[in-house]
């Protein structure tokens, strides 16, 4: 590291320039730390604000990715108070059970946690406690069966996640017994599920969740199948403006990681897009009927995906050589594709 050189700029201006550079180009932070001790003091909290622990996930090259060895070196050498204050966003991609428990028990200031792959033991160390280990957590992405395996799931959720507002599941489809535990979350406003079925049973469960969760602003259903005007999900979407179907060609960890990062860095992710659509529906700026063919439609495209209109159909580019054809889009349907 360079010696403490006198700046030719006003200190506050220099600080602003370095912080702006670090936020715009996160991958440059390790090199910027070498400029001077004062720069290290300014930028180190930003370096640790968002941590991705993975050896496999595909993320944009402008974000540093930690291996297990690197994250444990950080945990050993940084004061606990610094880690609790600095680490706000954490993505764990298939980290082993023992290491995961250590990471989660140390990084207790995390606000946004993405558990990218299934591991039924992520939360085993929590238990039902009056002092929740992740008391600041507001956003959680995890497998369904990581939370719904407890004898008293509702009490576990209520005590472990008192600030949780955004909850997204992947994996196993929800069953009717999840309604009461979800209603126990005191601040839950946003909920997301994958769905492979447009059935009366599943639509009924989603309707019960909407009724039971007093603060719920929206429920997002990730679907590979476009609902029709007369299908159960289509009818539910017409009846309740909080029900949004997001059409994803395919769910995979890399896509979810890219969306997670987009939300953190740009403030644009599937949550924000669904929020915008609910607001439009609440203010009456979108037609709540279920149009067909050439009627006006709500289309959201993220990160540079191209689209064309072919007659009465909307065609979106999914991958380099793939297309996805959507019939009868309506006002609670988002078309959402993300580039890696």
User: Which CATH number is 70's domain given?
Assistant: 3.80.10.10
β 166-170/190-195 pair status: parallel
How many C-beta neighbours within 10 Å does residue 282 have?
12
Are 27 and 104 in the same domain? no
Residue 287 inside a domain? The answer is: yes
Residue 2 inside a domain? The answer is: no
- pLDDT tens digits, 138-167: 999 988 877 776 667 888 888 889 999 999
Q: What are phi and psi of 308, to 5 degrees?
A: -140, 155
Higher pLDDT, 338 or 52: 52
Are 70 and 18 in the same domain? no
Q: Which long-range contacts (CB under 8 A, 24 or more apart) does 269-274 make?
A: 270/192, 270/220, 270/246, 270/334, 270/336, 271/166, 271/190, 271/192, 271/220, 273/246, 273/300, 273/302, 273/334, 273/336, 274/190, 274/218, 274/220, 274/244, 274/246, 274/334
- Give me the mean pLDDT over the 22-45 stretch: 82
Residue 4 inside a domain? The answer is: no
Which token pair is 299?
């289309």
CA distance 72 to 175: 38
User: Residue 61: what pLDDT?
Assistant: 56
Are 77 and 130 in the same domain? yes
Are 115 and 63 in the same domain? yes
Are 24 and 105 in the same domain? no
Rg (CA), the chain: 22
Domain count of the fold of the chain = 2
Domain membership of residue 15 as a residue range? 10-47
Higher pLDDT, 92 or 7: 92
Question: How many residues does this entry show for the chain?
Answer: 340
CB–CB of 138/112 below 8 Å?
A: yes
pTM as predicted: 0.78
Residue 316 inside a domain? The answer is: no
Are 186 and 287 in the same domain? yes
Are 205 and 76 in the same domain? yes
Are 31 and 105 in the same domain? no
Which token pair is 270?
């599937």
Residue 276 inside a domain? The answer is: yes
Residue 334 inside a domain? The answer is: no
Residue 315 inside a domain? The answer is: no
Q: 89 forms bridges with which residues in the sheet?
A: 50, 112
| Mean pLDDT comparison of 26-40, 43-57, 104-118, highest-scoring range | 104-118
CA distance 195 to 334: 15
Are 19 and 77 in the same domain? no
Are 269 and 153 in the same domain? yes
CB–CB of 287/331 below 8 Å?
A: yes
CA distance 242 to 91: 28
pLDDT at 24 over 90: no
- pLDDT tens digits, 88-132: 999 988 787 778 888 888 888 999 999 887 765 566 655 545 455
Spatial CA neighbour of 271 closest among 166, 196, 138: 166
CA distance 173 to 47: 37
- pLDDT tens digits, 192-206: 988 876 677 788 888
Residue 312 inside a domain? The answer is: no
User: Residue 313: what pLDDT?
Assistant: 33
Helix 11-24 crosses helix 37-47 at what angle (to 10 degrees)? 40
Are 41 and 89 in the same domain? no
């Amino acid at each position: 590291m360079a010696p403490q050189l006198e700046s030719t700029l006003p200190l506050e201006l220099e600080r602003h320039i370095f912080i702006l550079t670090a936020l715009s180009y996160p991958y440059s932070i390790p090199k910027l730390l070498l400029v001077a001790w004062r720069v290290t003091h300014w930028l180190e909290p930003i370096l640790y604000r968002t941590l991705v622990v993975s050896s496999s996930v595909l993320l944009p090259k402008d974000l540093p990715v930690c291996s297990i060895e690197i994250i444990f070196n950080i945990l050993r050498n940084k004061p606990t108070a610094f880690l609790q204050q600095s680490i706000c966003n954490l993505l764990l991609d298939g980290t082993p059970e023992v290491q995961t428990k250590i990471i989660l028990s140390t990084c207790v200031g995390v606000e946004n946690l993405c558990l990218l792959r299934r591991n039924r033991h992520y939360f085993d160390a929590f238990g039902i406690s009056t002092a929740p280990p992740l008391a600041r957590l507001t956003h959680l992405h995890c497998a369904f069966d990581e939370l719904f395996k407890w004898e008293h799931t509702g009490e576990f959720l209520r005590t472990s996640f008192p600030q949780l507002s955004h909850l997204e599941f992947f994996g196993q489809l929800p069953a009717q017994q999840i309604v009461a535990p979800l209603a126990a979350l005191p601040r839950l406003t946003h909920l997301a599920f994958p769905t492979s079925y447009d059935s009366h049973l599943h639509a009924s469960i989603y309707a019960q969740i909407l009724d039971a969760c007093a603060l719920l602003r929206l429920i997002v259903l990730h679907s590979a199948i476009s609902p029709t005007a007369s299908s159960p999900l289509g009818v539910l979407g017409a009846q309740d403006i909080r029900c949004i179907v997001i059409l994803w060609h395919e769910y995979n960890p890399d896509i979810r990681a890219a969306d997670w990062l987009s939300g953190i860095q740009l403030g644009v992710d599937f949550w924000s897009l669904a929020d915008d659509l609910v607001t439009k529906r609440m203010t009456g700026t979108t037609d709540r009927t279920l149009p067909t063919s050439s009627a006006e439609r709500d289309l959201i495209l993220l990160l540079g995906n191209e689209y064309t209109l072919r007659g009465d159909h909307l065609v979106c580019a999914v991958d380099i050589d793939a297309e996805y054809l959507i019939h009868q889009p309506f006002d609670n349907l988002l078309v959402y594709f993300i580039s890696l």
